[in-house]
Structure 1
Amino acid sequence: MSEQQNNPLHGIKLEQIVTALVDHYGWPELANRIDINCFKTDPSVKSSLKFLRRTPWAREKTEALFIATKLHQE
């Protein structure tokens, strides 16, 4: 439990992260910020989740952008 105490993503699902980023930036700007095809070519939350779950480096970039965006809003 103490390991998760300082994790800003604790309790937040990947779907919530992607949805929040799309709501905030939109698909075109999200694709500019994170250059991956699932954000550029016929993007959807479902296809993005499938890719991000299989691709650790892309998931890390997406989570990092979410954290930066969240901190910037506070």
Structure 2
Amino acid sequence: MAIWYVLIGVVIGMIAGFFLARYLFKKEMKKNPPINEKMIRAMFREMGRKPNEAQIRRIMKNVNDSYK
């Protein structure tokens, strides 16, 4: 019977750990996004294009929406 309690505890711990890690990861991504507007401008320049503000805002919105 004790083995069942251990197994149930491990399963519950894994589920709780998954959701806690997911929450902390999303929170960290909102606080420190992996890409910012300066990086987007630099990527456009490397491709030989001059981005306008609408393109940059659209890309930033897509990036931010992907972490929600």
Query: Given the two structures, how large is their TM-score scaled by the length of structure 1?
Result: 0.31
Name the structure with the higher helix share: 2
